[in-house]
């Protein structure tokens, strides 16, 4: 494995550990946030975003370039109708199942086997959008 992938693996391990530590790998806990019974998820997202905010806006500026080469590019996407329609569809799925992509994948590491079906469904959903988008592009 090259150096880049070793760092991605290390970061991913911390990411997955943090998701499990904060109970986000449990769909019931995520649903109890969405039902406004336990607002802890705000601190997970807020804590992760705050640390990453410091990284992107302060530490990266000081470093100038990534340690293994390449460029720093903040994650900026243009606004479009699809961003919002997609967010609505994602919100319905998240509210129905308590699963989001990262927490569902990490959940496999806690032995949560039923989520395999949820992840398989996410692949099918992603495929469906790709299928429609490919058809639009070729027309």
In the window 62-101, what residues touch another protein (CB under 8 A)?
A: 63, 65-68, 70-79, 82-101
Q: How far is the CB of 51 from another protein (least distance, A)?
A: 3
Q: Tell me: does residue 58 bind another protein (CB under 8 A).
A: no
Question: Is residue 61 a contact point for another protein (CB under 8 A)?
Answer: no
User: Cβ 61 to another protein, closest distance in Å?
Assistant: 11
Distance of closest approach, residue 139 Cβ to another protein, in angstroms: 11
Q: Tell me if 138 contacts another protein by CB under 8 A.
A: yes
- Would you count residue 137 as binding another protein (CB under 8 A)? yes
Q: Does 139 bind another protein (CB under 8 A)?
A: no
Rule CB under 8 A: is residue 36 a binding residue for another protein?
yes
Name the nearest CA neighbour of 98 among 47, 43, 46, 25.
Answer: 25
């Amino acid at each position: 494995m090259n150096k880049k992938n070793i760092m991605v693996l290390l970061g991913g391990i911390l990411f997955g550990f943090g998701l499990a530590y904060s109970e986000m790998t449990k769909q019931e806990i995520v649903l109890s946030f969405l039902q406004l019974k336990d607002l802890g998820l705000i601190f997970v997202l807020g804590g992760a975003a705050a640390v990453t905010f410091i990284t992107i806006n302060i530490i990266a500026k000081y470093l100038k370039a990534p340690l293994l080469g390449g460029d720093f590019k903040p994650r900026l996407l243009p606004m479009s109708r699809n961003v919002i329609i997609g967010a609505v569809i994602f919100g319905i799925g998240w509210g129905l199942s308590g699963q989001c992509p990262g927490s569902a994948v990490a959940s496999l590491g806690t032995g949560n086997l039923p989520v395999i079906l949820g992840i398989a469904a996410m692949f099918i959903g992603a495929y469906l959008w790709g299928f429609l988008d490919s058809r639009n592009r070729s027309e």
